[in-house]
Amino acid sequence: MLALIEKQQVRKRTTRFTGESNIGLPTLAERPRSVAGQRWLARREPMLDSLEGAKARLHQVVLESAPVSAETTGRRKRITARLTGAPMLAAVVTAVALVGVVLISIATKPPAAPLPKGGFVLPVDDQIEGVLSDYTRSIRDAKPELPVQMPNPTILESLKTSTYTLKNGDTISGVAKKSGLTVGTLISFNGITDVRRLNPGMDLRIPSMNGTLYRVRKGDTLGGIAGAQGVKLANILDANSIKSAVIVPGQELFLPGAQMSSFALRKALGTLFIWPTIGVITSPFGMRHDPFTGVVEFHNGIDIANVLGTPIRAAMDGKVALVGNNRGYGNFIILNHGDGFQTLYGHLSKSLVQKGENVNAGQEIGLMGDTGYATGPHLHFTIYKNSAPVNPLTYLEKK
């Protein structure tokens, strides 16, 4: 206890300022008598000596800086003495050290790249994949605090079929409506090429969903079929209960959601071609007597008679393949409709389209006339399938 009291008394004496006197060591009479107090003072003496030396050097610098009066010199000495006190010196040294550390860190730190608009730096190319993977993993592993209701995925069941027997008065559109299907679905699924040939007593297969039937061709793949028909591959697999990617030519696949082409549908419905003009059929397709010579010969189209200048219209969407004139058909137009179909319009008084022009079904393309080998104003109309003439009445709408 005595040693502690002595330490406190010595500390007070070594930090007292009086006038121009500075921090000094206690005199021998003031030194502590206990061993502990003397040891404590011995540890303090080197530090105090160094402070005394620093204070003396600072006095010398201040006194040599400029000649001043004695009073000013005394005042400077007192200010210097106060500045060189232990607490103030320690604070100055600490501040200088901190400033040095900051300056060094600024000097050695590489310049920051300018941030792009948005406030973030994009990773370099070789890090993008890893960054995206980490981001995806963080989203996948994140657990939301609140339950999130996800929509149930659509599960497509396997195709099921039933049978319907046609009755008197049934039509393909009526059966489709009862079954909740499209006309195209029934036509495609049953391979109907002409609905006019359907009769009572015939059985129709009724699928459980809309779609079309597709027959696999050589070189086909499931992915290629799905892409070409605009159907999801998974839906094809589900509807047909396919467990292998192997398909063979001739195999039938149901394509859920697919639709028949407009061309194929109109062909099956018997509305592939519209009537090119109005009038009376004066000469049918097939064998006939030549109107000039009376010789029996083949007539490759039908003749529709009416007054001169009656409008002639395109029987189907297509492109003008040829506009010309010859001795037999006079002024004529040939339209190309695709899928092997072409139409011929002969004996025109005037053509209203040019070669290469696209036309729509019902568009006026010419005027009825009697040019060429003709007995009067009429239209000679021929339908070609793969370059061979076919009976137009098989493809024209029923009147």
pLDDT digits (tens, 9 = 90+) for 372-382: 999 999 999 99
Task: Please give the Cα distance from 191 to 209 (Å, whole number).
Answer: 16
Identify the domain boundary among 36, 57, 90: 90
The DSSP symbol for 207 reads: E
In a domain, 98, yes or no: no
In a domain, 156, yes or no: no
- Long-range pairs of 348-356 with CB within 8 A, sequence gap ≥ 24: 348/312, 348/379, 349/308, 349/309, 349/377, 351/323, 353/320, 353/323, 354/320, 354/323, 355/320, 355/321, 355/322, 355/323, 356/319, 356/320
> Backbone phi, then psi, for 366, in 5-degree steps?
-170, -175
Q: Is 121 exposed, middle or buried (0-12, 13-18, 19+ CB in 10 A)?
A: exposed
- On whether both 79 and 46 belong to a single domain, the answer is yes
In a domain, 170, yes or no: yes
- On whether both 265 and 293 belong to a single domain, the answer is no
Q: Is 285 exposed, middle or buried (0-12, 13-18, 19+ CB in 10 A)?
A: buried
pTM for this entry: 0.44
- On whether both 377 and 295 belong to a single domain, the answer is yes
Q: Give me the residues of the chain with pLDDT under 50, please.
A: 2, 14-29, 66, 112-129, 131-132, 135-136, 138-155
Residue-range definition of the domain harbouring residue 69: 2-90
Q: Tokens 């394509």 label which residue?
A: 255
pLDDT, tens digit (0-9, with 9 covering 90-100), for 277-310: 999 999 999 998 888 888 899 999 999 999 999 9
Say how many C-beta atoms besides its own lie within 10 A of residue 128's C-beta: 11
Number of domains in the chain: 3
Identify the domain boundary among 205, 239, 269: 269
Confidence at residue 193, expressed as pLDDT on a 0 to 100 scale: 85
What angle do helix axes 183-190 and 172-179 make, rounded to 10 degrees? 110
